[in-house]
Amino acid sequence: MISAGIDIGSRSIEIAVIENGTLSETRKTDTGFDPIGQAKKMINGLKFDSILATGYGRNLFEIEHEADTVTEIKAHAKGAVHSFPNATTVLDIGGQDSKVIKLNDKGKVIRFEMNDRCAAGTGKFLEIMAKTLGFSIDTFGAKAISAEKDLAISSMCTVFAESEVTSLVAKGENPVEIARGLHMAVVKRVISMLNRVSPKGPIVFTGGVANNPFVAKHLAQITQRNVLIPDHPEMNGALGAALLASENNTKKEKK
């Protein structure tokens, strides 16, 4: 059977398809202002026997398509273990939230912490700050790496931080150094979560922010932990959902 997973996030939507135990297809698009409409376009023409939804838009998708759903925590844990079988710590930083998941030696979730009440420490925070400084989000991390020093940012609230960044630019401070300071603030914030939830062992880093070279590099340097990043970290939730859908199909076939 062919199983699909769809991760409807705040910034993007990803789909992964599992056929005969192998990842056969992936799709990705921006969420936009109509996530269900975008999701409908994405699954148009896609062949699958079952689909499992995760992400913040999963409940709307469930109603629209009569699909089963799974929490982001379970989906990201499953995807991370598929890529790195010995994973015990998962750090996922997406557009709207960041989360740390602790797993036991069998890949089961035993603890997690999620920051979903403000944009601080998320992809949205970095996106807004990049725009404020005149950088593209794709080059923001590389620009921050090039700075020789960072300027400390006192607030992690997106509104106040944006105002603070604007003031620093008006004072003639180097935008690259400001970028480094912003990135360091994000890294320190997620490290605090890691220390509370799962302070030891390798870190499987997933979500769109895992593609940011500054965050990945300094996360490893500061924690002195091995940071493992899947080939396409933004697909991890959809992959996990597809794998869980495949397992559900196998269970049904055995009954």
| Angle, in degrees to the nearest 10, between helices 137-146 and 213-223 | 50
Strands (E), 2-144: 2-8, 12-19, 22-30, 50-54, 68-69, 89-93, 98-103, 109-115
Number of structural domains the chain divides into: 2
Same domain for 153 and 182? yes
Same domain for 105 and 191? yes
Same domain for 218 and 242? no
Amino acid at position 12, single letter:
S
Same domain for 101 and 223? yes
Same domain for 199 and 123? yes
Same domain for 101 and 79? no
Same domain for 131 and 217? yes
Q: What whole-number distance in Å separates Cα of residue 107 and Cα of residue 74?
A: 10
pLDDT tens, per residue, the chain with 255 residues: 899 999 999 889 999 999 988 999 999 999 999 999 999 999 999 999 999 999 989 999 999 988 999 999 999 999 999 999 999 999 999 888 899 999 999 999 999 999 866 667 788 899 999 999 999 999 999 999 999 888 888 777 777 888 999 999 999 999 999 999 999 989 998 999 999 999 999 999 999 999 999 999 999 999 999 999 999 999 999 999 999 999 987 777 666
Same domain for 248 and 148? no
Unique residue bearing structure tokens 């950088």: 135
φ, ψ dihedrals at 120, nearest 5°: -55, 130
Task: Name the 3-class secondary structure at 63.
Answer: helix
The residues near 103 (Cβ < 8 Å, ≥ 6 apart) are: 77, 80, 81, 87, 88, 89, 90, 109, 110
Same domain for 49 and 131? no
Any idea what the CATH number is for the domain that residue 33 is in?
3.30.420.40
Same domain for 76 and 108? no
Same domain for 71 and 132? no
Same domain for 39 and 151? no
Provide the residue range defining the domain that includes 151: 86-229
